[in-house]
Structures are given as structure tokens and as C-alpha cells.
Structure 1
């Protein structure tokens, strides 16, 4: 006679749920104990191993950064090796790209208005003696003519594999850090809703930055934690002379 038992009291509740699933298969489907147990284990394993898909906000955010990465890598004066090195978003750095002469922050939204969530006071605070540029992208679901996140990743990986193969591992590690899983299903396609907007981060840009908060008393400043806010860039005119990599942007 086959028996199933647990020797760990801390797993009693989970073991009970397992037995209920096994018993259901025995009673409802007339399986033997061995068959019911094996089928239950397979089902639970499939559930636990199911690939996690990035949520929509993270997917379009990564698509936007890949669009800028593609534009930087395609520029003859920079190239793909330096482009991958410059991509620091998702790490401990506050901005998405750190090029030799300036930094870039990328924001992507699926809203009809050009509204973006800013995380922390440092995200739109330029570093000393380093200009900061903000790239605002609006995307919309594009149907068959659009680009999925998988399409964008493949396009960028192909370019890196061809022009800077030594950086492919670095790129893949960076994608994994964002939660990208090449085995996850991703059929949602996107296209640009409007022309990209490139703005210098200066006094004309609405933002809450470190200098603004530093003007408060230390007592009040210490009580502001985990700051997030939304800015609306709808209708703002683009910069007349953005950096060369940001003049022409498209989804890769």
C-alpha cells in the first residue's frame, strides 16, 4: 500500500492542500494514488515554473530605453560597444544613460497626454557639470505593424552581436536585471504615438529636484521619503539642438 506523509510540521497546511488535490484526482478522475500524486506534482511544478511577464509599464519603459540605446549605437561617432557601456539604467545610477559629455533620462508612456512618473528627486537632478537630457516617448498599441519588446530586444542584440560581440554578455545581464526573460510570452505590439520629445533638464522643466528640497529646513527635509510624482510635458516645444543620438529616434 502506498502512503504519503510529511515529516515537517511547519508544512502541515501546504501538505494538506497537496493531499486535497491528490484526493480530488482519485475521487473525480478515478486515478490511482500514484497517478494522482504524480499528476498533482506536475501541475504544481508547472504553476511554480511559469514564466513571469513584465507588466505593461516596465515593458514600454524598457522599449523606450532600447530605442535610445539603438540610436546611440547606430551613431558612427559612438558605436555599439560604448553604447552598451553607457546604458546604466536599472542599476544604482540615477539616470538611464551616461555618455562622456552628458546624461540621458528616458521616459515612456502609453497615455494620450505626455505624462510621466518621476521616481525620487535625483532622477531629474543633473550631476555637477554634466548636462541632463530628458527623452519623452509616447507609444500606442500598434497591431501587426507595431514592435513587441521581444522584437526590440532581438534587433538590439543582433546589432551588438555583429558590431560589439564582446558586449553581448553585458547587454544580456542588463536585460536580465530589468526582468526580461527571453522565454516569456510577449505578443503585445507598440508603435510611436507621436514624435519623440527631447528636452534639456533646466529651469524650464517642471520637476522636484534636490536643490528645491535642499531649500527646506533639515527637519522638514528629513521627513520626505520615497518621493514619486507625475509631470505633464504635453505641448512643450522640443529642444532646437538636441544631442546627435537623440535627433532621430524610432522603436528598434
Structure 2
């Protein structure tokens, strides 16, 4: 069951997140006159407000993420106002529901309703994009590992081992193992890989992929990304400036903390997978022999399902970070 926002006209932020990350298109009617509905299309990265068209057309040409199109249909002349989400689903949803409110509650003409809503949301929509849900999950997962390392090895060694975006190496670099962290909110351990070098061990040190599955929960049982960051900063002590530098490089901004209202908790215990000859990694050396003119391929992204792949253990104090129990359907 979906949860409504406080004004009972629109969905809560948590439910907008839930619908968007499901990946499926959905149409949400908004009660009132004129008829309005929102078409959420995650695959296209867009949300569209559809309502009756009354001239003049709204002026949106100067806004990079907003498009308007009049449409002839069996229902009459319709207006489609489309917003490209670009990582800011909350801002896009809020902007379009604000247009609907101007139309239905205040009786403004379409062009005026759009102008009013854009003015109202200008700073939020253009200045506070925030992290995408995928990047939010990725950062949360890395911080879970960092928290574990701080508790086991101390803040200095833990923070120094966290490479984040400031290095071309893996997410965590330790003397006896390197870690690449992958986090998903899905029920399966399906993770996206990027590039040809992400899953290549370096300097002869073993590489393990850490698979973390998160799930949404209430505020009593989980933490928001902002709360997680606050806890890490407190535990980092004198190493907090290094933590902050890496957070900033990853796109975190304290001013955007209210954008991350979802509370997360572990769906189950993380698992480690040794990246060896049997791991399904697409690397340049593996592809060069089978792809004609491989040097012309400049980029690569692919998804790996590790749900039923054999997990492995981690060495030393890292052993408690993961479980080696097999998963069954």
C-alpha cells in the first residue's frame, strides 16, 4: 500500500523512491479538475504531467530539463509537460505536482501554473540535484564497510584504506586484499560493473567483490544516508577531514541532506566473491581475443548476477564482514 504525503494529494518521498527504483512505468492520477495525471517512466528517466491544453503554451525553452508538447487525442487537446529527472526524482515530482496544484486548487491557466511552479522550484530543481538512488546506495554500502574497518582496525588505517573516487584503484586497498564494493536494493545480487579495469587485481594482491543488499525500512530500524555519514564522521575522529574530502568527491553535499529521507538497513549479511579465473569479469584481455577490432570499444557497462555464485571468505579481521553461507531459492 502506498503512503500519501501530509496533504493527502500526493505521494510521500519514500513512495516516490519506491516507485522510481522499481524501474516500471506507472501512471498516477491526481484528483481534481482539470484532470491531471503523472506518467513516471524510470527507463526513460522522465516524469510527465498530462492535463488539458489551454493556450497559450507555457514558456519552457530556456529550461534544460523541461519540455512541453501539445497532443491531439480522443480526450481532446492535451498538454504534456515532461521533466528529465537526471538524479533528482524528488525535485521533478515536486515541480509537476506543484503545477497540478496551481491548476486544480488555484484555477490558474496552464501557462501561468507552469511559470509559477518553475519559479517556486527554481533553486531546488536546478541547484539541488543530489545523488541518484544508485549512487546513494553505493555510498551507503562503502560506508558500511568503512564503519566495520574503523571498529576492527581503528579510524586511521580504515580511512586510509578507503580509496573512494580519489584513486584509480579499488574501493578499499589493504595489504592482503583489495575490496570492490557493490550495493543493490534488489532481491537478487545483481550488480552493475563499469569499464574494463574495475575487476582486475593489481600488484599481485587478491581482489574480492563485496556484495551488499539493502532494503528500505522505518526510521527506528534503519539509517538515512545523512545519519550514516554523521556516525562515520564521529567515529573518524581526527581523520574526519579525509572522510569529508572523499564524500565531497563522491558528490555529497551537506546542504542536500533532506533529499535523502529513505532509511536503509541490510537485507541480509554481505558476501564476498573472489575475483579469479572463474569470476564472470569482462576485461580487456578476455575480450580482445573474441571481439573484432576490440581497440575501438571505448567503454563498457554490464550487470552480473551473483545470487547463486559461490561466496568466499575474507582474510584476518575482515572475516566477520561477510558470511560464506550459500543462498538458496
Q: State the secondary structure of the residue aligned to 1:222.
A: helix
- TM-score, scaled to structure 1: 0.73
* CA deviation after TM superposition for structure 1 residue 207, in Å: 1.3
* CA deviation after TM superposition for structure 1 residue 92, in Å: 3.8
**Aligned twin of 2:161:** 86
The verdict on how the C-alpha distance between 1:53 and 1:221 changes in structure 2, with shifts beyond 3 A counting, is: same
**How do residues 159-178 of structure 1 correspond to structure 2 at under 5 angstroms?**
159-161=235-237, 165=238, 167-178=239-250
Q: State the secondary structure of the residue aligned to 2:302.
A: strand
Q: State the secondary structure of the residue aligned to 2:197.
A: helix
Is contact 1:199-1:242 (8 Å) kept? Answer: no
Give distance in 1, aligned partners of 2:224 and 2:205. Answer: 33
Give distance in 1, aligned partners of 2:209 and 2:124. Answer: 41
Structure 1 runs, 4 residues or longer, greater than 3 Å off: 42-50, 214-217, 240-243
* CA deviation after TM superposition for structure 1 residue 206, in Å: 1.4
Specify every segment of 5 or more residues in structure 2 that has no aligned partner in the other structure, as ranges: 1-60, 63-115, 323-329
**How do residues 232-243 of structure 1 correspond to structure 2 at under 5 angstroms?**
232-243=305-316
1:63 to 133, 140, 152: 140
1:116 to 191, 194, 197: 191
- TM-score, scaled to structure 2: 0.57
Over the aligned positions, Cα root-mean-square deviation in angstroms equals 2.7
The verdict on how the C-alpha distance between 1:47 and 1:106 changes in structure 2, with shifts beyond 3 A counting, is: closer
**How do residues 28-47 of structure 1 correspond to structure 2 at under 5 angstroms?**
46-47=123-124
Specify every segment of 5 or more residues in structure 1 that has no aligned partner in the other structure, as ranges: 1-12, 15-38
Give per-residue Cα distances to partners, 1:155-197, cap 9 Å, x unaligned. Answer: 1100012xxx1x2111101101111112211210111112211
**Aligned twin of 2:76:** none
Give distance in 1, aligned partners of 2:138 and 2:226. Answer: 13
**How do residues 129-168 of structure 1 correspond to structure 2 at under 5 angstroms?**
129-144=204-219, 145-161=221-237, 165=238, 167-168=239-240
* CA deviation after TM superposition for structure 1 residue 51, in Å: 2.8
* CA deviation after TM superposition for structure 1 residue 242, in Å: 4.2
2:254 to 162, 165, 182: 182
* CA deviation after TM superposition for structure 1 residue 48, in Å: 6.9
* CA deviation after TM superposition for structure 1 residue 231, in Å: 0.3
* Greater strand content: 2
* CA deviation after TM superposition for structure 1 residue 43, in Å: 5.4
Give per-residue Cα distances to partners, 1:8-41, cap 9 Å, x unaligned. Answer: xxxxx96xxxxxxxxxxxxxxxxxxxxxxxx9xx
Is contact 1:94-1:122 (8 Å) kept? Answer: no
**Aligned twin of 1:4:** none
The verdict on how the C-alpha distance between 1:154 and 1:246 changes in structure 2, with shifts beyond 3 A counting, is: farther
* CA deviation after TM superposition for structure 1 residue 237, in Å: 3.0
2:131 to 42, 46, 54: 54
**Aligned twin of 2:11:** none
Give distance in 2, aligned partners of 1:246 and 1:177. Answer: 29
What number of residue pairs does the alignment pair up? Answer: 207
Q: State the secondary structure of the residue aligned to 2:228.
A: helix
Is contact 2:145-2:321 (8 Å) kept? Answer: no
**How do residues 206-225 of structure 1 correspond to structure 2 at under 5 angstroms?**
206-215=280-289, 220-225=293-298
* CA deviation after TM superposition for structure 1 residue 246, in Å: 4.8
